[in-house]
Amino acid sequence: MRYSHQRERIFRAVSERCDHPTANMVYEQLKVEMPRLSLGTVYRNLNQLADAGRLKKIPLADGSCRFDKTKESHSHIVCDECGAVSDVHLPSFESFEQAIESETGYELRTYDVVLRGVCKDCRACMDQQAG
Amino acid sequence: MRYSHQRERIFRAVSERCDHPTANMVYEQLKVEMPRLSLGTVYRNLNQLADAGRLKKIPLADGSCRFDKTKESHSHIVCDECGAVSDVHLPSFESFEQAIESETGYELRTYDVVLRGVCKDCRACMDQQAG
DNA sequence: ATAAATAACAGTAATAGTTACTATGTAGGA
DNA sequence: TCCTACATAGTAACTATTACTGTTATTTAT
Ligand SMILES: [Mn+2]
Ligand SMILES: [Mn+2]
Ligand SMILES: [Zn+2]
Ligand SMILES: [Zn+2]
């Protein structure tokens, strides 16, 4: 994979933020400083970076994709109200793997565990409105 | 919700199969006997049935949705090769919930755990091809 | 039983997220 | 410096799904 200025900026953008941005969020951020950048380029490069193992792609159930600077296997929790995506540590999820493989006959490759709920901020908002 | 012939047939179609069909799979099955049925009607009714709690909606990471006759919370495993969706029992996943809520500050609503791997049949195929 | 109200329908257009295409530009090696 | 492959911007196409529009069917009221 040959060097490109755009790709490195896209990589840095994801690496420097903790909110698991979408392609469009990266595009909106970068186009301020790079007015000629196109959304297609962002998508293409994010996927290339994920294929190359420099980023992790997290496809969510709503059809959108998030990109993650953390490459190691870990789980996520999504706020149903504001859409925020946060990391969550699932203790000893790995211990299930053996049992699952023998129960299902599947050879397990990956697991993308996405929990859903309401974040602290949104709970506060909702309580205020209700109260 | 008022009775409709179409809705009951759509409900029965999902109830009678174990492969977690998509809206389109239900449509393909039913249109043979109901030539005037439309895909939009299938989508609308599957979502209504899910909202009413008569079916469970399982949005997958690839953007497609599966519908499940089993309404209780349970997890799924998807074959990366053939796309098959099977049930899988995750022992004591519930025991994590408390820990997750205090770690993240989220109020947990649901978890749609989708594992991915290769099913027994597809493994056999792949082994054969490899020789 | 008939008629009025309205929920559901079929058909089609629109949408969102993403990928593919095409012509132009640029990185990096000979 | 010049070549070639890869990257780009801009745009069209795509897939799964939802929304719109005029028609039909189910329910309720007479
Ligand atoms: Mn993460
Ligand atoms: Mn199931
Ligand atoms: Zn929130
Ligand atoms: Zn398979």
pLDDT recorded at residue A94: 75
A vs B: CB pairs below 8 A: 104
Q: Residue B80's beta-bridge partner residues?
A: none
Domains delineated in chain B: 1-70 (1.10.10.10), 72-131 (3.30.1490.190)
**What is the nearest CA distance from A116 to chain B, expressed in angstroms?**
5
pLDDT above 70 (res B91) = no
pLDDT above 90 (res A110) = no
**What is the nearest CA distance from B18 to chain A, expressed in angstroms?**
15
Residue B104: its chain A contacts at CB < 8 A?
A: 77, 86, 88, 117, 119
Instruction: Identify whether the C-beta of residue A129 lies closer than 8 Å to the C-beta of residue A92.
Output: no
Would you place residue B13 in the very low, low, confident or very high pLDDT band (cuts 50, 70, 90)?
very high
CA of A45 to C1' of D15 (A): 21
Of A104, A113, A114, the CB nearest to B77: A104
CA distance A13 to B129: 42
pLDDT recorded at residue A62: 77
pLDDT in tens, A17-66: 999 999 999 999 999 999 999 999 999 999 999 999 999 999 887 778 99
Nearest Cα neighbor of B116 from B84, B90, B89, B91 is B84
CA distance A81 to A126: 10
B74: left (phi over 0), alpha (psi -120 to 50) or beta: beta
B42: which DSSP letter?
A: H
Range in A68-77, B5-14, B34-43, B90-99 with the lowest mean pLDDT: B90-99
* Exposure string for B67-88, b = 16+ CB within 10 A, e = fewer: bbbeeeebbbbbbeeeeebbeb
pLDDT in tens, A74-105: 889 999 888 899 998 886 677 788 888 999 99
pLDDT recorded at residue B92: 67
B26 burial via Cβ count (<10 Å: 0-12, 13-18, 19+): buried
CA distance B62 to B80: 11
